[in-house]
Structure 1
Amino acid sequence: MSNEANEANQSNQANQSNQTKQSNPAPETCAGKHPAPPCTLVIFGAGGDLTKRLLMPSLYNLAADKLLDDDMQIIGVNHGERETSEWRDELTQSLRKFAADKAATFHTTQLNEQAWSWVTQRLEYFPGEFTEDETFARLKERLAKAKSGNVLFYLAVGARFFSPIVEHLGAAGLLEEKDGNFRRLVIEKPFGSDLASARELNGCILKYAGESQVYRIDHFLGKDTVQSILAVRFANAMFEPIWRREYIDNVQITAAETIGVEGRGKFYEQTGAFRDMLPNHLFQLLGMVAMEPPNSFDAESVRDKKAEVFDAIKPLSANDVVLGQYEAGPAGPGYREEAGVDPDSRTETYAAARVYVDNWRWAGVPFYLRTGKRLSERRTEISIQLKAVPFLLFRDTPVDALTPNVFTLRIDPAHGTTFDFNVKVPGPVMQIGKVRSAFNYADFFAERANVGYETLLYDCMLGDETLFQRADSIETAWAAVDRVLHPDSPLPVRGYAAGSAGPAEADQMLAQDGRTWRSLTETRDTHDAGKKD
């Protein structure tokens, strides 16, 4: 498409939009929140899966909650010529299917047509290659005509395009902040594949943008249940006094999936479970659990405390890690039979690690992290096991051992907490029985439509960096695992049956410490969590 034709097309779209564009028709704004400032959201990768499945549903939900400014514009950059109307239709079909398939996320199978229309009227497709100067020259001309000087550049693309896009944005002067307007850069994971590549990417970005302009996004931190970790810890006097090595025996962080690689075998071959999950998602959860109390919820106060945790992690060795790969089992075929996977692949689909945070609060307390695909249950949770009490008092009772107290923060798919403790079983004999107290979010709070990116996008527009990673934290996390990523000899990859709890060697790692993993099948249904096992 020529520049003249492209400008004419944009002019026609603008005229039609001005004639019919409506103000945000949504219901009352979320309590305590106000609409984000006006901005132009530029999405690189407009035709990609991330845009369809996560960004557009999130923008739709934000529009429905009246948290977007009426002057917002959304420009989708992608290779290949097409009309904006085609892109709109494709996104509409995708969102309708998403709403039907994800009723639990949207809480309805029907779209709010007014809210989605509000979004679609602000969409504009912008053809261009991510590595060509001409694309960015035209984009600069287009942004000069935008209603707002505020621009949010979202890199919803493969990691290989991160540096080229940043370099082109910088060279075109598109990251320069002038006249009080912001220019922000949102970058998805994987942010590097090891310490050296993370440093290289940070160096490229910070050559053209200040740290305050960069939003390294981790969608785990967009979950309300993850953000609630800080509230549970610091808003309740019953937890903080015992949240330390004197009372806690171990912490287990689990992110288990029942699905396989779902047609993404080629991508997964280059990444693996360890790089994909450990130094980012699971370390972020570890940081929330282990950080010292900040003086405020100011972004830098929170991020400083998380950075201190990552800096205190003892570098992992080969003895601290177990890798696994699912084989044919009750849940289906093995990983090597998946499309796009090397028949002789040694890529891990499971990773478990023993992590120590060597500071005054946590010295000696192991953090056991595990993640895997094709496991027996889907769950993301954090279990804090307290130390055992002396058994002497119960030596003459029919009790062989006391069940450890375990406090579990349930993140996904169940949302809430459980607490395991001991009571006397009714009857004339002193007999101890395990019981469980449970809290479910749905029992106390109205559910809101959320795919996990709404808060993150909203915070990017507001300029709130609390839930985003800084360059130093990224590099410190990679430094903690770099020895494992570049071992003297390759780490063994153990087999486990699809549909099982993972490789036996992961159990053995904990058994060496006299501990066991929390069962993946325990409290399978959230609403059964309060029932006796």
Structure 2
Amino acid sequence: MATTEIKIAPEDVASAAEAHERIPEPGVVVIFGASGDLTKRKLLPALFHLEQAGLLPEKIRIVGVARRDLGDSFAKDMRAGILEFGGVTEEDPKLESFIAKVSYHAMNFDDDGGYEALKEKLAEYDKEVGTKGNRLFYLAVAPEYFSDIVDHLGKHGMAKSEEGAVRVIIEKPFGHDLESARALNADISKVFEEQQIFRIDHYLGKETVQNVLVFRFANGIFEPIWNRNYIDNVQITAAESIGIEGRGPFYEKAGATRDILQNHLMEVLSFVTMEPPVSFEADAVRQEKLKVWKAIQPIKEEDTVRGQYGPGTVGGKEAIGYRQEDRVSPESQTETFAAVKLEIDNWRWAGVPIYIRAGKRLAKRVTEVTVQFKQPPMLLFNKAAAGPCGQIQPNLITMRIQPDEGISLRFGAKLPSPDMTVCPVVMDFKYSQAFGTNTANGYERLLLDAMLGDGTLFAHRDGVEVTWELFTPLLEAWTKTKQDFPNYDSGSWGPKASDDLLKRDGRKWQKL
């Protein structure tokens, strides 16, 4: 397997980053739900990575808000999280000064007195530290608290600032169907204007997802063939080897479709299929994404597959079935696997099937996009041979989002022999080889963009509603039909019906 020869030196990576430095104004980051794992594992390590890179303002404060009375132990716990999950050492010269900027505020999310005390605390930072009224509220809480917290922020005068900018980040899931998404949008819009709202999808923070746009639009050799004339089909897979990890109550309400397809994979699909935007500004990118989603034809139930994992073996270890997981109904109809065939009815993609799938307890963890090209009209070299050289294989471009991030191109080459035998070979680019290892978790870019007011990599109200408009009828149809679950073993690649979905089109899932 060939690999890239060009390597970018660490100092060149650093200088490139410095050339595009964007440092926000002084301000306060307020994290609601700060006692949860997300803050410790992702948000604080990401903020510290920004601090290490010199991308945070010197005058910044971070306030964790949750119901438990954690006191001084919060900052210590966050410090431990930065060390454990951020790839940081005890000797880091910026660690202690950063932790000194972290504080905690205990309150119930419906406590008016708590909001008034928080408001006073933020005002003190403005006066003593010079945070200038700039606020970034991060709602890392369960969805049922979104509207209440936003309502209280508005009621207590914290949604606007005379001196600075106020913004709010809302975690997914953003609604559980079209009706609830519209209701949530309406609630939030009563308090915040759309340019203040940042609906976060951490997939868009991944370098490899952003690189899909660079791959397409910064390289002149790909865009001319990125259409129905040359592409046979597109496959997007998000496979996890783990189960639900103790999140029974959440997953019973969500399922694979709500958890992955409607948001993560639709975002990835838009980057793969959108038209070139006029610029990389938020509005221009959003408009092109919205055009793609609106061009997707209504999903037919016969073009879908749902599954639920039973007992099996994953990575050499026995795994229980979904219905045996903690706090899961023994008769659950929740899907842990979903596959959908989509059709985009526009000039570029008409007639090209887009297959997307996501599942838990599959054979391995991998997220990737595969673009399969059409075969030449006349196969001159299709001479029978053994093994993978038995017939001409289609060209593939594979974009690996995680793990082993990179891009590969499969093409045919002559096998060294007296015969004209063609074998598939792969040119492989890996991020780690070209740019070195990276401890970033994807939240760095998104947190920085939110502080700067750049919504390019965030979901817009219209986009959220149009993707729910696609999937809500399917989810409603599924509730009317009881499925015979479980229908795939843990450690497999999902139910057999998933393979049949492509087989009836004369295609198959690419080997991962």
1:432-447 equivalence runs, <5 A: 432-447=422-437
Residue 361 of structure 1 corresponds to which residue in structure 2?
Answer: 348
Letter in 2 for 1:468: F
User: Kindly tell me: are residues 426 and 390 of structure 1, through their superposed partners in 2, closer, same or farther at Cα, counting changes over 3 Å?
Assistant: same
Which stretches in structure 1 are left out of the alignment for 5+ residues? 1-26, 100-105, 521-533
1:198 pairs, out of 151, 176, 181, with 181
1:43 pairs, out of 5, 9, 31, with 31
Q: Distance in 2 between matches of 1:443 and 1:400?
A: 32
Which stretches in structure 2 are left out of the alignment for 5+ residues? 1-13
Residues 1:73 and 2:56 are matched in the alignment: no
Residue 101 of structure 2 corresponds to which residue in structure 1?
Answer: 122
1:338-368 Cα distance to aligned partner (Å, 9 max, x none): 1121122121111111111111111111111
User: Kindly tell me: are residues 249 and 476 of structure 1, through their superposed partners in 2, closer, same or farther at Cα, counting changes over 3 Å?
Assistant: same
2:333 pairs, out of 336, 346, 350, with 346
Residue 512 of structure 1 corresponds to which residue in structure 2?
Answer: 504
User: Kindly tell me: are residues 177 and 361 of structure 1, through their superposed partners in 2, closer, same or farther at Cα, counting changes over 3 Å?
Assistant: farther
Residues 1:61 and 2:45 are matched in the alignment: no
Residues 1:406 and 2:396 are matched in the alignment: yes
1:169-194 Cα distance to aligned partner (Å, 9 max, x none): 11112112423x10001000000001
User: Kindly tell me: are residues 295 and 327 of structure 1, through their superposed partners in 2, closer, same or farther at Cα, counting changes over 3 Å?
Assistant: same
Range 391-400 or range 200-209, more displaced: 391-400
1:463-474 equivalence runs, <5 A: 463-474=453-464
2:139 pairs, out of 146, 155, 168, with 155
1:310-389 equivalence runs, <5 A: 310-331=293-314, 332-389=319-376
Residue 92 of structure 1 corresponds to which residue in structure 2?
Answer: 79
Normalised by the length of structure 1, the TM-score is 0.88
User: Kindly tell me: are residues 288 and 116 of structure 1, through their superposed partners in 2, closer, same or farther at Cα, counting changes over 3 Å?
Assistant: same
Asked if 1 retains the 8 angstrom alpha-carbon contact of 2:274 and 2:289, the reply is yes
Residue 481 of structure 2 corresponds to which residue in structure 1?
Answer: 490
Q: Distance in 1 between matches of 2:80 and 2:56?
A: 22
Letter in 1 for 2:471: V
Q: Distance in 1 between matches of 2:19 and 2:363?
A: 39
Range 38-47 or range 329-338, more displaced: 329-338
Residue 175 of structure 1 corresponds to which residue in structure 2?
Answer: 159
Asked if 2 retains the 8 angstrom alpha-carbon contact of 1:64 and 1:112, the reply is no
Letter in 2 for 1:163: S
1:410-432 Cα distance to aligned partner (Å, 9 max, x none): 11001111111112212221111
Residue 16 of structure 1 corresponds to which residue in structure 2?
Answer: none
Residues 1:453 and 2:443 are matched in the alignment: yes
Q: Distance in 1 between matches of 2:156 and 2:308?
A: 45
Letter in 2 for 1:241: P
Letter in 1 for 2:216: R
How far residue 491 of structure 1 moved from its aligned partner, in angstroms, is 6.0
Letter in 2 for 1:168: H
Q: Distance in 2 between matches of 1:379 and 1:485?
A: 25
User: Kindly tell me: are residues 341 and 494 of structure 1, through their superposed partners in 2, closer, same or farther at Cα, counting changes over 3 Å?
Assistant: closer
Secondary structure of 1:393's aligned partner: coil
Secondary structure of 1:208's aligned partner: coil
Residue 134 of structure 1 corresponds to which residue in structure 2?
Answer: 113
How far residue 31 of structure 1 moved from its aligned partner, in angstroms, is 4.2
Range 168-177 or range 248-257, more displaced: 168-177
Residues 1:228 and 2:218 are matched in the alignment: no
How far residue 396 of structure 1 moved from its aligned partner, in angstroms, is 6.4
How far residue 95 of structure 1 moved from its aligned partner, in angstroms, is 3.1
Asked if 2 retains the 8 angstrom alpha-carbon contact of 1:75 and 1:126, the reply is yes
Residues 1:477 and 2:498 are matched in the alignment: no
Letter in 2 for 1:455: R
Secondary structure of 1:438's aligned partner: strand
Letter in 1 for 2:302: N
Secondary structure of 1:330's aligned partner: strand
Q: Distance in 2 between matches of 1:160 and 1:112?
A: 41
Range 168-177 or range 469-478, more displaced: 168-177
Range 326-335 or range 386-395, more displaced: 386-395
1:377-416 Cα distance to aligned partner (Å, 9 max, x none): 1111100000111245346666763201010011100111
How far residue 262 of structure 1 moved from its aligned partner, in angstroms, is 1.1
Asked if 1 retains the 8 angstrom alpha-carbon contact of 2:383 and 2:391, the reply is no
Asked if 2 retains the 8 angstrom alpha-carbon contact of 1:318 and 1:491, the reply is no
Letter in 1 for 2:159: L
Secondary structure of 1:343's aligned partner: coil
Letter in 2 for 1:371: A
How far residue 111 of structure 1 moved from its aligned partner, in angstroms, is 4.1
* Percent of pairs with identical residues: 45
1:231-246 equivalence runs, <5 A: 231-246=214-229
Secondary structure of 1:114's aligned partner: coil
Asked if 2 retains the 8 angstrom alpha-carbon contact of 1:494 and 1:505, the reply is no
Normalised by the length of structure 2, the TM-score is 0.91
Asked if 1 retains the 8 angstrom alpha-carbon contact of 2:45 and 2:81, the reply is no
Q: Distance in 2 between matches of 1:395 and 1:38?
A: 64
2:122 pairs, out of 143, 146, 161, with 143
Cα root mean square deviation, aligned: 1.7
Q: Distance in 2 between matches of 1:151 and 1:485?
A: 37
Q: Distance in 1 between matches of 2:322 and 2:83?
A: 31
Asked if 2 retains the 8 angstrom alpha-carbon contact of 1:324 and 1:502, the reply is yes
Residue 248 of structure 1 corresponds to which residue in structure 2?
Answer: 231
Q: Distance in 1 between matches of 2:79 and 2:463?
A: 38
How far residue 92 of structure 1 moved from its aligned partner, in angstroms, is 2.2
Residue 8 of structure 2 corresponds to which residue in structure 1?
Answer: none
User: Kindly tell me: are residues 112 and 183 of structure 1, through their superposed partners in 2, closer, same or farther at Cα, counting changes over 3 Å?
Assistant: farther
Which structure has more RCO (C-alpha within 8 Å, separation ≥ 6)?
2
